Every structure is written in C-alpha cells, then in structure tokens.
Amino acid sequence: MGDAYEQTRFILETIEKALRELDADLSHVVRTRMFVTDISKWEEIGKAHGEFFREIQPVATMVEVKALIDPRLLVEIEVEAIV
C-alpha cells in the first residue's frame, strides 16, 4: 500500500480517472477533504496534493482520524467537483 505520499498519489490518480469518465478533469474540483491517520505526514500528503492540483488550488481540508476502515490505509480523500 505504500507510504502516505504514494497512497495520496494513487487516490488522486483514481479520482482523475473517474473525472475523465465524466468528461471532466481536476480543474472541476472545488474542494478536497483529506482524512489522515498521522497528521505528522501532512507534508508528504500535501506534496502529492500539490503535484496534482498545482494552480487549481481547491479549498482543502486535512483532518487526523484515529483509524480508517482498513488499517493499511493512511489517507482517504473526498473531492467535490462541479461538472
């Protein structure tokens, strides 16, 4: 499953693919919510987020949670997109 950076990249690649299926892209994303199990990894997660969203800059929230449904998961991301 990788580290927090790799998991974040994987999630955002998956989101990007899903948006393409709707004839949309990341520029349609207006908000991201990131749930993380270790807030001290915020720089790794933020780095991956920035690589995908660069100048788009959606509103972003990062919240530390006790656990995610699968203990191997370090990051879960929700996005809101206007298409």
Is 72 a residue whose pLDDT tops 90?
yes
> In degrees to the nearest 10, what's the CA dihedral of 21, 26, 32, 35?
70
Q: What is the Cα–Cα distance from 15 to 63, expressed in whole angstroms?
A: 19
pTM assigned to the model:
0.94
- What integer pLDDT is reported at residue 1 of this predicted model? 74
CATH of domain 4-81: 3.30.1330.40
* N-to-C CA span, the chain: 31
> Between these two residues, 36 and 2, which has the higher pLDDT value?
36
Interval 22-48: pLDDT, tens: 999 999 999 999 999 999 999 999 999
CA dist 60 to 1, 2, 49, 66, Å? 23, 23, 9, 20
Domain ranges within the chain, ordered by starting residue: 4-81
> Chain-wide mean pLDDT for the chain?
97
Half-sphere exposure of residue 57: CA atoms within 13 angstroms, side-chain side:
1
